[in-house]
């Protein structure tokens, strides 16, 4: 079995309109949400062995906020191809993963479409189709290798958005 933890970066800052999109940092709410996500993941035993992360500042900072809560520090791999990637690119990157549990951190709109296409049945949570900042999907695949993962094969194990953690 393989497990994917799919996370959209948390809330980024728009304070400086001259900051290039790739270099936008997290705002305070985003930093808090990332820490909350880390606690939530650890409390449920969702601990990745490998992290595939877009190389944007906001995705890297999301990971930096999540990581301290986890009991083990997985291998972090920055993947420029995940910056604003579409579903096909995300699947191609995932198919080269090596750990049994992989976290992928990316961006909308691609991550929302990827999430909807990778599962056999979408969760009932009304936030799923929007996949707002910090949204995290945990999906399991009954396959021996990541190379065999395809659209429509995943079984949803869990789905959360940061404001549900804080509630």
pTM: 0.97
Mean pLDDT of 64-88: 95
d(CA 58, CA 126): 25
**Residue 167 banded pLDDT, cuts 50, 70, 90:** low
**Residue 75 banded pLDDT, cuts 50, 70, 90:** confident
Domain count, the chain: 1
Domain span at residue 9? Answer: 2-166
Percent of the chain surpassing pLDDT 70? 99
pLDDT digits (tens, 9 = 90+) for 48-73: 999 999 999 999 999 999 999 999 88
- CATH code of 69's domain: 3.40.50.1240
Cα 5 versus chain centre, distance: 6
CB 139 within 8 A of CB 116: no
d(CA 80, CA 84): 9
């Amino acid at each position: 079995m393989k497990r994917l933890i799919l996370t959209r970066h948390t809330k980024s800052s728009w304070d400086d309109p001259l900051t290039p999109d790739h270099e936008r940092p997290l705002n305070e709410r985003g930093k808090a949400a990332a820490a909350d996500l880390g606690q939530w993941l650890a409390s449920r035993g969702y601990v990745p062995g490998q992290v595939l992360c877009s190389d944007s500042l906001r995705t890297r900072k999301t990971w930096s906020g999540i990581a301290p809560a986890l009991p083990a520090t997985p291998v972090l791999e920055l993947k420029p191809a995940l910056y604003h990637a579409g579903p096909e690119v995300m699947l191609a990157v995932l198919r080269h993963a090596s750990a049994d549990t992989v976290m992928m951190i990316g961006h909308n709109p691609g991550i929302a479409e990827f999430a909807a296409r990778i599962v056999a049945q979408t969760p009932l949570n009304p936030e799923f189709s929007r996949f707002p900042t910090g949204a995290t999907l945990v999906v399991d695949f009954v396959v021996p290798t990541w190379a065999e993962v395809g659209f429509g094969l995943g079984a949803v194990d869990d789905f959360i958005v940061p404001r549900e953690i804080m509630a």
